[in-house]
Amino acid sequence: MKKTSYLSSCGKTEDGADFVVLSDVPYFSASQTFDCGQCFRFNAKDGGVEGVAFGRFIRIEQDGTNIKLIGVSEKEYEDIFAAFLGLDEDYESIRSDIGEHFGAYDDIIYEAMNVADGIRILRQEPWEALASFIISQNNNIPRIKKIIENISAGLGEAFVGFDGKTHYAFPTAEAIIKAGETGLAPFKMGFRTRYLLDAAKKYIDGEVDFARVESSCASDAEKELMQICGVGKKVADCTLLFGFHKLEFFPVDVWIKRVLEKYYPNGIDLGALGAYAGVAQQYLFYHERYIAAKSGGKEDEK
DNA sequence: TGCCAGGCCGAAA
DNA sequence: TTTCGGCATGGC
């Protein structure tokens, strides 16, 4: 049975921070969900995961299927963070659908679903997802995170989190445009700077219309985003998957190319992977990186 | 030190 | 239409 609210209690900490407690949440791991390269603003800290989303600083503490969200009120949980964390999706049936579509090719999907069984696709803000994946191209995750933190601190709106410290929202497109090429130079984004500027301009003037992206069919949504200079198929697909929560998109990056060559040597029909191909993509991506990390960062010979 | 990174652009074939 | 060099920068 589909269950979308796991809220069991809420209240305030000794320091006066709002919190909510969720219980019996299946298929959710905060560490996996925030360590699979879909989101760049959260980090593991003191046994939990912390970061900024929707202009708020939140902390996630997890003990098995019980989760505590600190810095989140009951209303914010219902309005924003249940969806942000993907807790409004039924992963039991999603996983079953993935098995039906990928299992016919190779059993690797079951291994990946097992290793990465706590990943949920987040529902991030579309502009932030677009900008983040523009920055991600031909770049490594630690540096992507660093650049995003730096532009947030430099151009994002400051606010005080429940921990009493100053945090920064992701910069708006207006702030990016206002900074211009000169203002963006200190962040050392290299050739990505003009891509980010083009995205901000086209987003603000409506040339790329997010409402149209939202309501379009898959190929039209992709085309709409690819009008931006610096947005190819991969960046568009990541934006659609992680920012617009279109779970059918299956972004193919260097890691996934490797996975496809390794486990699906006879090819796979990328156009018929089902409504949740993007979730499967994250399972496979996480699994492959997990293997690489275990073998000392070196891949097996092909 | 050199290779590579959640790619894309633009020119050449 | 496909292929391929170049791109800014820094993590490892």
Q: What is the DSSP string of A206-219?
A: TSS-HHHHHHS-HH
Strand B contact nucleotides, protein CB < 7 Å: 4-10
Structure tokens at A32: 């996996």
Rounded (10°) angle between helices A277-294 and A91-102: 80
Structure tokens at A245: 């929560």
What is the reported pLDDT for A4? Answer: 58
- The residue annotated as part of the active site, out of A146, A201, A234, A262, is A234
Q: Which nucleotide is nearest to A137 if distance is taken from CA to C1'?
A: B7
CA distances from A110 to A98, A289, A295 (A): 9, 16, 21
What is the reported pLDDT for A298? Answer: 40
Q: How confident is the model at residue A84 (pLDDT cuts 50, 70, 90)?
A: very high
Query: Active-site residue A234, yes or no?
Result: yes
Instruction: List the A134 CA – B10 C1' distance (angstroms).
Output: 18
Q: Please give the helix or strand (H or E) that residue A105 lies within, else none.
A: none
pTM of the model: 0.96
Determine whether the distance from the CB of A292 to the nearest atom of strand B is below 7 Å.
no
Q: How confident is the model at residue A294 (pLDDT cuts 50, 70, 90)?
A: confident
Q: How many residues does chain A have?
A: 302
Q: How high does pLDDT run on average in chain A?
A: 95
Unique residue bearing structure tokens 């309005």: A79
Determine whether the distance from the CB of A293 to the nearest atom of strand B is below 7 Å.
no
Instruction: List the A140 CA – B4 C1' distance (angstroms).
Output: 9
Rounded CA gap, A30 and A25, in Å? 11
DSSP secondary structure code for residue A46 in this structure? T
Strand C contact nucleotides, protein CB < 7 Å: 7-12
Statement: residue A85 has pLDDT above 90? yes
